[in-house]
Amino acid sequence: PLVNTVEMFKKAYAGGYAIGAFNVNNMEIVQGITEACQELKAPVILQVSAGARKYANHTYLTKLVEAAVIENPDIPIALHLDHGSSYELCKDCIDGGFTSVMFDGSSKPYEENVEEARKVAEYAHKYNVTVEAELGKLAGVEDDVKVEDDKAQFTDPDEVQDFVKRTGVDSLAIAIGTSHGAYKFKPGQKPKLRLDILQEVSNRLPGFPIVLHGASSVIPEFVQMINQYGGQMPDAIGIPEEMLREAAKMAVCKINIDSDLRLAMTASVRKYFAENPTHFDPRQYLAPARTAIKEMVEHKITAVLGCAGKA
C-alpha cells in the first residue's frame, strides 16, 4: 500500500534498522527497486527530486509509483519529495498525491528554515503527509546548489530540540560527514562519519527519526566496471557500508541512495554496449540495467539497512 512514513519510522527506530530511500526517475528504476523490496518483504521510500520532476514529469512519476503499489501489494511504499526547496513545491507535491515531503531549508538562515518548515508541516499534516527537514549543510552537489567542502557544516546538536519543537516536522536530516554524489572523499582521505554527533542529536531527541542524505557507498565494483568499459570515474568514493550499518542501528531511520542506482545502471549499460556492439533495442540493455538495480537494492536491504522482512 501507499503510506506515509509514520509507521515505517516507528518500527525502524524500535527495531534498530533503517528504511532505504531510493531516487526514481524512470520505469526501470521503479521496477528494479520495488521488485527487490517485494521479494525481501522490505518497506521502501521512493523519492522524487525537483530534477526528476523536471525530467519525467510529476504525473508520469506518480503513476509509475502507483503501478508499483499495485504490482507489489505486500510492502508499504512511501512517495516522497526529495529536497523540496520551497513551501510552494512541497504544497504542489502534497496536492499531487505524495505521502511525504522534504522541505530543505538547510542553506537558509536558521529562523527562515524554522518558519518555512513549520508552514510546510502545518499544511502537510492536514493531509496526513509526513515532513522531513534538514539542519546542517552537506558538502557536494544537489540540483543547482553546490556546497563547497569548506562551507559544509555539521549539524549543531544544540539546535535540534528547538527546531523540531517549533516546526513540528516528523523527521530530521543531519550533516555528519556524508555528501551527495560519487566523490565523497578526496583520494587518500580516510572516510569518516561523525557518529558522535548522531548520538548527541538522538540524546536530545529521544525516539525521533533521523535521516542520512548522501549515503551511497559508491560501490567499488560498479566504479571499476564503468572504468573498464570506457567510462572515466577515477577517485569515485563513498561511505563504507559498516559505517552506514552502525548509523542504521542508531536513530537513523532513513538512508538516501541515488548515486549507487546511477552507478549500477551505467555500469550495466556500458558493459552491455561493449559486449554487444550490434544491438540497438533499448529493451536489450535496459533489462540487465533493471536487474542490476534490483540486485544492488537487495544487497543494501540485507547488508546495510537491515529492513528485510519488516514489511
Residue 177 or 306 with smaller CB distance to Na ion? 306
Of these, 4, 5, 23, 106, which contacts ligand G3H (CB under 6 A)?
A: 23
- Please name which of 2, 9, 8, 4 lies closest in space to residue 208, comparing C-alpha atoms: 9
Stretch that binds ligand 13P, among 63-71, 118-126, 251-259, 273-281 (CB under 6 A): 251-259
| Residue 92 among the catalytic residues | no
Residue 54 beta carbon to ligand G3H: minimum distance, rounded to whole angstroms: 9
Contacts of 97 (CB under 8 A, 6+ apart): 62, 79
* Nearest-approach distance from CB 29 to ligand G3H, in angstroms: 11
Q: Which three cell numbers stand for residue 117?
A: 518548515
- Half-sphere exposure of residue 310: CA atoms within 13 angstroms, side-chain side: 25
Nearer to ligand 13P, 43 or 214 (CB): 214
Q: Which is nearer to ligand G3H, 28 or 82 (CB)?
A: 82
| Contact predicate 21/45, CB 8 Å | yes
Per rule CB under 6 A, count of chain residues that contact ligand G3H: 10
Among 12, 17, 33, 83, binds ligand G3H (CB under 6 A): 83
> How many residues form the binding site for ligand 13P (CB under 6 A)?
14
Rg over CA atoms, the chain:
18
What residues from 12 to 51 belong to the interface with ligand 13P (CB under 6 A)? 23
**Nearer to ligand 13P by C-beta: 106 or 202?**
106
290 binds Zn ion (CB under 5 A): no
Query: By C-alpha distance, which of 160, 167, 165, 163 is closest to 116?
Result: 167
Q: Which of residues 188-217 bind Zn ion (CB under 5 A)?
A: 213
CB 264, CB 219: distance < 8 Å: yes
Residue range at the interface with ligand G3H (CB under 6 A); choices 28-36, 44-52, 72-80, 156-164: 44-52
257 binds, among Zn ion, ligand G3H, ligand 13P, none (CB under 5 to 8 A by kind): ligand 13P
Q: Which is nearer to ligand G3H, 83 or 310 (CB)?
A: 83
DSSP state letters, 14-67 = HHT--EEEEE--SHHHHHHHHHHHHHHT--EEEEEEHHHHHHH-HHHHHHHHHH
- Vertex 25, ends 124 and 147: CA angle to 5°? 75
C-alpha closest to that of 171 among 244, 111, 252 = 252
- Count of helices and strands (H, E) across the chain: 12, 10
Closer residue to ligand 13P in complex, CB, 23/155 = 23
Residue with cell string 550533516: 175
Considering only residues 92-111, where is the footprint of Zn ion by CB under 5 A? none
Angle at 12 between CA 6 and CA 16, to 5 degrees: 155
Asked if 122 and 138 count as a contact pair (C-beta separation under 8 A), the reply is no
Binding residues for ligand G3H (CB under 6 A): 23, 49, 51-52, 82-83, 142-143, 180, 258
Given the rule CB under 6 A, which residues bind ligand 13P?
23, 82-83, 180-181, 213-216, 256-260
| Residues belonging to the active site | 82
